[in-house]
């Protein structure tokens, strides 16, 4: 059997893949926003002096980092629906699942970046009469965000790739579109190579955008 | 202005400040000297409660800072009240601790604006006049990493002054500076002292202590061992330990 990329043009295959790509991008983007939000809350919570808040954050991190994403998605989509009657649509379960999983990793990125900022910055803010949170949001976080960008690029790329697991909970994203097509025509190599390139291009764009953002932030502010 | 009574501080089991009693009057310049590890910086940092204390009392303008009595027991005061007290106390750090992501002007206006002490226009004008005062009127738009150490420290002084503090604490303000940059920072401090600012200064600059201090506090091993006018301390100290310390620092300068 020889390679024949002409199959892309048959049976509406390419439009189906592009539709899947669009779903992948949308799901990933929404999950990314959720993941940043959870990451910030759990990351800050993990550093809290309050025992309850910091333990909750630790449990969150341990659970979502310590169990497979595929298992989490199954629990969220099938498990909750059948045992507790909490019936999310596939897309909602997908965004929630991806976002909560990735949020665990982002929380560690947030915590690491904040802890890498010199302790004197918090002291300076406090000595000027600012509260802990005022100093956190006006002084510490703006500096920490710069240090978060490189590891965040890694995490967002992982998130995009992990979105392929949503095919297992019936989300019609890129991977599922490919599965549907190959089930019909057995053109595994052509179809999977095509979606591999799609994923690659999306991730290349993410890493480029973050690099541009990094450079922009460095020009605007100080480099220390 | 500042009154410290029976202050004790521990790091774990290490007793770093032992029964400190000190009263600082309005308009006074008090210089704290002593060997490294004697607790002088720690004492200064207790004065705006950057360091928690285990027992004793610190009062600023007759109001407690940090620990308060509540139903007969000592406990930490609410954060809001602590922030309010800290507004009265300006602090200048050894490592400047300027905010690197903000311009010089924004470093100065951040606190007054965030706390609603001034509107934008007033904050801007205050920043410019404070910068002029420390000789940096032309650097308002610069970022901290574009400044020399001496310039950074003068910005840090201007930043602290923007909150209109009633007392200024200096924690080894010239120790991180190249020798040729020390003078410009000391000059800014002298200017401030002449205006009547109450100042507490931890420093190794004995020249500054001699010239500007109303009183010199000598610390060793977590205790105040001697307090006196610069004349007495430098020419005729009562304590042998003061003599030994001064001999060590003065023979090389």
* Per-residue pLDDT, B253: 56
The model carries a pTM of 0.84
Are B97 and A224 within 8 A, CB to CB?
A: no
CB contact under 8 A, A129 and B98: no
Do A128 and B111 make contact, defined as CB atoms within 8 angstroms? yes
Nearest to B93 among A120, A139, A223 (CB): A120
- Of A179-193, B97-111, B140-154, B225-239, which gets the smallest average pLDDT? A179-193
Q: Which chain A residues touch B if contact means CB-CB below 8 Å?
A: 118, 120-121, 123-132, 134, 138-139, 142-143, 146, 221-224
* Chain B nearest C-alpha distance from A180 (Å): 51
Say what the pLDDT of residue A221 is. Answer: 53
Q: A124 and B99: CB-CB below 8 Å?
A: yes
Structure confidence at residue A38 (pLDDT): 97
Q: Which residues contact A77 (CB under 8 A, 6 or more apart)?
A: A88, A90, A93, A94, A97, A169, A170
Under 8 Å between Cβ of A185 and A7: yes
Mean pLDDT over residues B65-79, rounded?
82
Do A224 and B100 lie within an 8 Å CB cutoff? yes
pLDDT at B76: 83
The pair of structure tokens assigned to A4 is 């024949």
Nearest CA-CA partner of B185 in B216, B147, B155, B209: B155
Determine the 3-state secondary structure of B49 from DSSP. Answer: coil
Q: How confident is the model at residue B119 (pLDDT cuts 50, 70, 90)?
A: very high
pLDDT tens by residue, chain A, 224 residues: 677 787 778 888 888 899 999 999 999 999 999 999 999 999 999 998 889 999 999 999 999 999 999 999 999 999 888 888 888 898 999 999 999 999 999 999 999 999 999 999 999 999 999 999 999 999 999 999 989 999 999 999 999 999 999 999 988 889 998 888 888 888 888 889 989 999 999 999 999 999 998 888 876 554 44
Average pLDDT of chain B, as a whole number? 91
Paired tokens of A72: 């989490």
Any idea what DSSP says for residue B235?
H
In whole angstroms, what is the distance from residue A113 CA to residue A108 CA?
8
**Cβ within 8 Å, pair B100-A138:** no
Q: Which two tokens stand for residue A138?
A: 């006006």
User: Stretch B193-198: mean pLDDT, rounded?
Assistant: 93
Ramachandran area for residue A206 (φ above 0: left; ψ -120 to 50: alpha; else beta):
alpha
Q: Say which range, A1-15, A201-215, B90-104, B177-191, has the weakest mean pLDDT.
A: A1-15
Q: Do B50 and A127 touch (CB under 8 A)?
A: yes
Q: Is B52 on the interface with A (CB under 8 A)?
A: no
Burial track A91-124 (b if 16+ CB lie within 10 A, e otherwise): bebbbbbbbbbbbbbbbbbbbebbeebeeebbbb
What was the ipTM of the complex prediction? 0.90
Which of A48, A113, A129 to mutate to test binding with chain B, by most B CBs within 10 Å of its CB?
Answer: A129
Contacts of B159 (CB under 8 A, 6+ apart): A128, B98, B107, B108, B111
Mutation target vs A (from B66, B90, B97; most A CBs, 10 A cutoff): B97
3-state secondary structure at position A130: coil
Q: What is the pLDDT of residue A182?
A: 86
Please judge whether B110 and A128 are an interchain contact, meaning their C-beta atoms are less than 8 angstroms apart: yes
d(CA A181, CA A17) in angstroms, rounded, equals 9
Is residue B125 pLDDT above 80, yes or no?
A: yes
pLDDT in tens, A78-93: 988 888 888 889 899 9
How confident is the model at residue A7, as a pLDDT?
78
Q: In the structure encoding, which two tokens stand for residue B186, read together?
A: 């000391």
- Digit-coded pLDDT (tens) for B31-60: 999 998 899 999 999 999 999 888 888 999
Among partner residues A131, A132, A139, which is closest to B99 by beta-carbon distance? A139
CA nearest B207: which of B158, B249, B151, B154? B249
Chain A positions in Cβ-Cβ contact with residue B159 (cut-off 8 Å): 128
- At a CB cut-off of 8 Å and minimum separation 6, what does A84 contact? none
In this structure, chain B runs to a length of 253
Judged by a CB distance cut-off of 8 A, whether residue B153 touches chain A is: no
What value, to the nearest 5°, has the Cα angle with vertex B101 and ends A159 and A134? Answer: 80
């Amino acid at each position: 059997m020889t390679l024949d990329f002409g199959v892309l043009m048959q049976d509406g295959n390419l439009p189906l893949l592009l539709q899947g790509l669009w779903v992948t991008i949308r799901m990933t983007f929404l999950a990314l926003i959720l993941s940043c939000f959870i990451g910030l809350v759990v990351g800050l919570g993990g550093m809290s002096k309050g025992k309850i808040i910091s333990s909750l954050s630790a449990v969150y991190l341990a659970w979502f980092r310590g169990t497979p994403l595929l298992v989490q998605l199954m629990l969220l989509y099938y498990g909750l629906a059948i045992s507790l009657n909490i019936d999310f649509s596939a897309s909602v379960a997908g965004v929630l699942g991806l976002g909560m999983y990735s949020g665990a990793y982002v929380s560690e990125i947030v915590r690491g970046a904040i802890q890498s900022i010199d302790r004197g910055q918090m002291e300076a803010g406090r000595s000027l009469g600012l509260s802990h949170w005022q100093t956190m949001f006006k002084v510490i976080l703006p500096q920490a965000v710069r240090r978060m960008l490189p590891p965040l690029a890694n995490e967002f790329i992982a998130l995009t790739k992990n979105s392929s697991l949503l095919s297992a909970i019936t989300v019609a994203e890129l991977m599922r579109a490919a599965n549907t097509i190959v089930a019909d025509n057995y053109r595994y190599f052509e179809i999977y190579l095509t979606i591999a390139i799609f994923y690659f291009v999306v991730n290349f764009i993410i890493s480029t955008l973050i690099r541009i953002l990094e450079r922009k932030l460095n020009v605007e502010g100080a480099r220390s | 202005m500042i009154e410290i009574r029976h202050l004790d501080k521990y790091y774990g089991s290490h007793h770093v400040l032992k029964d400190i009693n000190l009263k600082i009057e309005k308009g006074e310049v008090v210089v704290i000297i002593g060997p490294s590890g004697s607790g002088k910086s720690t004492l200064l940092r207790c004065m705006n409660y950057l360091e928690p204390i285990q027992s004793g009392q610190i009062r600023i303008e007759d109001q407690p800072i940090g620990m308060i009595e509540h139903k007969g027991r000592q406990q930490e005061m609410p954060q809001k009240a602590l922030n309010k007290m800290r507004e009265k106390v300006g602090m200048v750090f050894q490592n400047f601790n300027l905010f690197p992501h903000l311009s010089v002007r924004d470093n100065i206006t951040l606190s007054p604006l965030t706390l609603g002490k001034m509107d934008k226009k007033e904050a801007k004008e205050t920043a410019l006049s404070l910068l002029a005062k420390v000789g940096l009127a032309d650097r308002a738009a610069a970022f901290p990493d574009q400044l020399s150490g001496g310039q950074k420290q003068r910005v840090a002084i201007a930043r602290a002054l923007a909150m209109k503090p009633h007392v200024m604490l200096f924690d080894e303000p010239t120790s991180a500076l190249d020798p040729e940059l020390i003078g410009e920072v000391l000059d800014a401090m002298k200017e401030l002292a002449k205006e009547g600012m109450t100042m507490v200064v931890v420093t190794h600059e004995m020249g500054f202590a001699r010239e500007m201090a109303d009183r010199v506090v000598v610390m060793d091993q977590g205790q105040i061992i001697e307090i006196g006018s610069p004349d007495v301390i430098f020419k005729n100290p009562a304590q042998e330990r003061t003599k030994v310390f001064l001999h060590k620092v003065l023979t090389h300068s």
